[in-house]
Amino acid sequence: MKKQIPKFKSEAAERRFWKTHDSTEYMDWSKGESVVMPKLKPSTKTISLRLPEPMVDDLKLLANKRDVPYQSLLKVFLAERIESELKPA
């Protein structure tokens, strides 16, 4: 028999609770289902990146040919490379 999840007065109170309690005592994760949240946008983080000017110029040229912002093209290039590096051989 699983324990009943308490009612929380705030999100902060719930966060504190789950930091100190094991969720398996309250729910049966074997009955969990995957969900798709198509409108959920991933968090982003702004970084500063120094690149040689000729590289930025080339990136802008490539982006212009594809009619996309160069920052977006850079994200695509990075995502593709990261995915290929993380794939098992």
Which domains does the chain show, CATH number per domain? 43-89 (1.10.1220)
> Does the model's pTM come out above 0.75?
no
pLDDT confidence of 63, banded at 50, 70, 90? very high
Q: Cα-atom radius of gyration of the chain, to the nearest Å? A: 22
What value does the mean pLDDT of the chain take? 93
Please write the tens of the pLDDT for every residue from 18-51: 999 999 999 999 988 988 888 888 888 999 999 9
Which pLDDT score is estimated for 25?
94
Angle made by CA atoms 64, 69, 72, in degrees to the nearest 5: 125
- The distance from CA 89 to its chain's CA centroid, rounded to whole angstroms, is 24
